[in-house]
Amino acid sequence: MRHLHWFRNDLRLKDNPAIASHTAADSLLCVYLMPKPRPWCNLVGVGAQRERFLRESLQDLHQQLVERGQALMVLEGSPELVLPDLVARFAITEVSTTFTPGSYERKTLAYLDEKLTVPLQVHRGNSLFEQPDLPFELEDLPKVFSPFRRAAEKLNVRGPSPSPEALPPPPAAQFDAIPPADTSKPTMLPLPGGRAAGLRRLRQFVFDDRSITQYKETRNCLDALDGSSTLSPWLANGNLSVREVAHEVFRFEREDLSNESTYWLFFELLWREFFHWRAVVDDAQMFKIGGSSGKIRGNTFDPRNFARWCAGDTNFPLVNALMRQLVATGWMSNRGRQIAASCLINELKVDWRFGAAFFEKHLIDYDVGSNYGNWQYIAGVGGDPRGGRHFNIDKQAGQWDPQGIFTAKWDGDRPSQPHYVIDAADWPIGEGH
Ligand SMILES: Cc1cc2nc3c(=O)[nH]c(=O)nc-3n(C[C@H](O)[C@H](O)[C@H](O)COP(=O)(O)OP(=O)(O)OC[C@H]3O[C@@H](n4cnc5c(N)ncnc54)[C@H](O)[C@@H]3O)c2cc1C
């Protein structure tokens, strides 16, 4: 048995059911394919910090594999072309990957399932619950969070499985060094990619600093590490498993303290879970202007307003600071994302999908369900019957940045990034995508 595992957003060995399924194989080829921009947003691509975090994560994963006599092969190219070629070249007998929602991702798997001459096993590993655990059929999945949360919080979160101590050897192949990213970690928020850094942050936030005990009060802070867990980049890339994070929170509650704040972190993981399953159900609908509701807003694409928003050059200093933080660090707080998204949709009247695509490019924690799901909520095209969210930006600035410290940190007379030069003709965005 010669197996191949195609890593995607499961960049870890612990609690990775797909990897655990290969321990008895004769050989195992571990592969990662660098992401390609979606066809409808070629202009967007993968931002410098997102790529940096990803490459650091891949190097870290390679190191974990080397410790087990393995290696990671990082290639460029589309899975539709590369994987059948690898299967033939290394006489692979089984291919595995970990499930991720997304319409293109589903189509790719359907294509591979047909095209590959060997079985393709798709494992679950990036959600708190398996599909059979859910108390709903997928077609009956609630469109709003509260009924989902009420049902989901009663479910048992299975414990994470250990990482295998040994793995089958790789086939005789050339494993090139993984090139580092062109950019370095931002000094303002140096979040390193890779499991080791994710574990350090988890331990620091939960056990060492006990910040989790005040999380409910501090989670809206605009700067990372000050208020919220900042675990999202490691969760989105799969350096940490969400079940592992949940179980560390439960352990803290058993061994130290359980309060509203410790519960609230789990509550937020349920939001992630909600958007994960909604993305599975909504599929291509998630990327349409009317979102999962089908409601059409009047917003269109205004290149000038969009360019100003991207560059942090709007009439709202707080939004400018947030957008510069995003481009420079690849991260923005939840409150910041809500304010920036509301500004693009409600003040600048731009089609929400352009903002979502820009976030997709830059966020080091980009996650298809959480990103497009949250944008839909703000735009009022998700399942929420209350409609969208319109934030009063001055009021938000007064509440969350009363002394202007955050805004000043990212201030400058001129935008810190050059204006994005956008030709509307490069954006063939339409209902078909
Ligand atoms: C417009 C917009 C776009 C977003 N895009 C993404 C994205 O691409 N990837 C992403 O992981 N999150 C996204 N979020 C959700 C949220 O902003 C981030 O998860 C959170 O800010 C990450 O910081 P943290 O780890 O410190 O979160 P914490 O407050 O510490 O929360 C702990 C974890 O719970 C999950 N979580 C928290 N809030 C949400 C939420 N509203 N929706 C889904 N999961 C949540 C995350 O996994 C997070 O790491 C988006 C929110 C908005 C409003």
Would you say the CB of residue 232 lies under 6 angstroms from ligand 1? yes
Give the residue, 70 or 385, on which the prediction is more confident: 70
Residue nearest to atom 16 of ligand 1 (CA): 334
Q: Tokens representing 403?
A: 């002394």
Instruction: Look at residue 425 in the predicted model and tell me its pLDDT.
Output: 35
CA 199 – CA 13 distance, rounded (Å): 13
- In the chain, which residues fall in CATH 1.25.40.80? 195-282
Distance CA 402, CA 243 (A): 37
What's the rounded mean pLDDT across residues 134-143? 94
Q: How far is CA 102 from CA 139, 279, 280, 282, in A?
A: 16, 7, 7, 9
The model's confidence at residue 430, banded by pLDDT at 50, 70 and 90, is very low
pLDDT of residue 41: 52
Query: In a 10 Å sphere around its CB, with 0-12 CB exposed, 13-18 middle and 19+ buried, how is residue 29 labelled?
Result: buried
d(CA 350, CA 362): 18
Using 50, 70 and 90 to split pLDDT, how confident is the model at 300? Answer: confident
Please choose, from the candidates 319, 313, 307, 345, the residue with its C-alpha nearest in 3D space to the C-alpha of residue 406: 319
Residues 6+ positions from 140 with CB-CB distance below 8 Å: none
Centre of ligand 1 to C-alpha 334, Å, is 6
Ligand 1 neighbour 366 (Cβ under 6 A): yes
What integer is the mean pLDDT of 293-315? 90
CA dihedral 41, 34, 197, 400 (to 10 degrees): 0
Residue 421's pLDDT is 37
For residue range 339-353, what is the model confidence (pLDDT) as tens digits?
Answer: 999 999 999 999 999
Predicted pLDDT of residue 419: 37
Q: How far apart are CA 17 and CA 127, in angstroms?
A: 12
* Model confidence at 37: pLDDT above 70: no
3-class SS at 71?
A: coil
pLDDT at 38: 56
Ligand 1 pocket, residue 235 CB under 6 Å: yes
Atom of ligand 1 minimally distant from the CA of 229: 30
The four Cα atoms 107, 111, 112, 113 give a dihedral, to 10 degrees, of 100
- pLDDT surpasses 50 at 428: no
Averaged pLDDT score across all residues of the chain: 91
93 Cα: distance to centroid of ligand 1 (angstroms): 38
Two structure tokens written together for 80: 């539709």
pLDDT computed for residue 384 by the predictor: 81
Residue 366 CA: nearest ligand 1 atom is 8
Query: What is the arithmetic mean of pLDDT over 81-105?
Result: 96
Cα atoms in the Cβ-side hemisphere of radius 13 Å centred on 147: 9
- Mean pLDDT across 217-243: 94
Q: Is 274's C-beta closer than 6 angstroms to any atom of ligand 1?
A: no
Interatomic CA distance for residues 62 and 72, integer angstroms: 5
Q: What pLDDT does residue 36 have?
A: 66
Measured CA to CA, the distance from residue 189 to residue 288 in angstroms comes to 33
Top mutation candidate among 191, 225, 268 for ligand 1, by most atoms within 8 Å of CB: 268
Instruction: Classify residue 335 as left (phi > 0), alpha (psi -120 to 50) or beta.
Output: alpha
Burial of 193 (0-12, 13-18, 19+ CB in 10 A): buried
74 contacts 61 by C-beta, under 8 angstroms: no
Domain with CATH 3.40.50.620 in the chain: 2-126
- pLDDT over threshold 90, residue 417: no
Higher model confidence: residue 385 or residue 246?
Answer: 246
Residue with tokens 């675990």: 231
The answer to whether the CB of 429 is under 6 A from ligand 1 is no
Where along the chain do the CATH 1.10.579.10 domains lie?
A: 303-426
Q: Is 195 in the pocket of ligand 1 (CB under 6 A)?
A: no
Residue 232 Cα to ligand 1 midpoint, Å, equals 6
283: left (phi over 0), alpha (psi -120 to 50) or beta: left
> How many CA atoms lie within 13 Å of 48's alpha carbon, on the beta-carbon side?
10
Domain 303-426 CATH superfamily: DNA Cyclobutane Dipyrimidine Photolyase, subunit A, domain 3 (1.10.579.10)
Q: Which among 320, 390, 385, 397 has a CA at the least distance from the CA of 349?
A: 390
Q: 337: closest CA among 422, 193, 187, 224?
A: 224
Q: How would residue 293 be classed by pLDDT, with cut points 50, 70 and 90?
A: confident
Is residue 53 within 6 Å of ligand 1 at its C-beta?
no
Give the fold, CATH level 3, of 2-126. Rossmann fold (3.40.50)
Hey, which CATH number is domain 195-282, 3.30.1330.30, 1.25.40.80, 3.40.50.970, 3.30.70.260?
A: 1.25.40.80
pLDDT at residue number 416? 45
Atom 5 in ligand 1: residue holding the nearest Cα = 371
DSSP structure string for 177-243: --PPPSS---TTS----SHHHHHHHHHIIIIIS-GGGGHHHHTT-SSTTTSS---HHHHHTTSS-HH
pLDDT computed for residue 433 by the predictor: 27
Which residue has a Cα nearest atom 6 of ligand 1? Answer: 371
CA dist., res. 70 & res. 299, Å (int): 51
Tell me if 191 sits within 8 A of 272, measured CB to CB. no
Tokens of 187: 């000094």
pLDDT above 70 coverage of the chain, percent: 93
pLDDT tens, 354-413? 999 999 999 999 999 999 999 999 999 998 878 889 999 999 999 999 999 999 998 764
